[in-house]
Amino acid sequence: MTLPIFTPAEDPGPSFVGLLGRLGMGGSDAGPSAPAGPTLEGLTHATTVLAIRCAEGVVMAGDRRATSGHLISHRTMEKVFPADSASGVAIAGAAGPAMEMVRLFQLQLEHYEKVEGNQLSLDGKANQLTLMLRSHLPAAMMGLAVVPLFAGFDEREDRGRLFQFDITGGRYEEQDHAATGSGSLHATTVMKLRFREGMGADEAQTLAIEALYQAADEDSATGGPDLVRGIYPVLATITSSGFTRIPDDEVAELTRSLLNRSSDGA
């Protein structure tokens, strides 16, 4: 048996399927085909999350929509979670792997605290998330990317800190605000224009809701507030007192107040 020789015009390149086609072994002659599996288009994806540094610590927020291709698969998805009592993580990307990564991250931090008797440093927590993303890279290259945000209150520096990541595990500390997901470009624009050094938690919460609202206005995968169904963004603060999820009724009141000001032209 000799290796096939191709002219440059006929070279199928690195594709094995292309090689079979050139040799006349593709199509129906290649034997029964395997049943088609689920496509990446049908996978559920979380969309836009953000974090804003404030005087008391950090505010984290996320919309509630999850999409499967061009369809809305979930309208009330949770995307902001406590990593431990002093930090939080928000997810964007493939929803299934992202949820699993969050649960494993929470478990690892809890295990460290029980074994060592104290919490891992904030930088150590961010490094742990980096390692998890790096190990997830093969799946990310297949389209199952997970891109989280991580934030916490650093007792050593007595301030809130926030970190952004990429699919390779790259970790980037942001000074003022960060966003990831399909609507991150529009959310970042709003935060960049509205952010003020030393702003309080209440002001940061309003800014977070406004950023998500404007992102939803431009990005179909980001869910805006739904007053009919009573669906509002997830909002949390991380301060020296720990991770606190803002009650839904308070988020609803903040959202309605923002919408009223917008309708009045304020």
Which residues belong to the active site? 47
Please tell me what DSSP assigns to residue 199: -
Nearest residue to 215 via CA among 189, 240, 249: 189
Q: Which amino acid is at 247?
A: P
Whether the CB-CB separation of 200 and 55 falls below 8 Å is answered with yes
Q: Which amino acid is at 252?
A: A
Residue 226: other Cβ atoms inside 10 A? 15
User: Rounded to whole angstroms, how far apart are CA atoms 22 and 14?
Assistant: 12
Whether the CB-CB separation of 40 and 174 falls below 8 Å is answered with no
Torsion of Cα atoms, 163 then 164 then 165 then 166, to 10°: -170
Beta bridge partners, 180, equal 49
Residue found under tokens 């431009």: 218
Nearest residue to 148 via CA among 75, 46, 53, 234: 46
Nearest residue to 250 via CA among 234, 229, 226: 234
Please tell me what DSSP assigns to residue 154: E
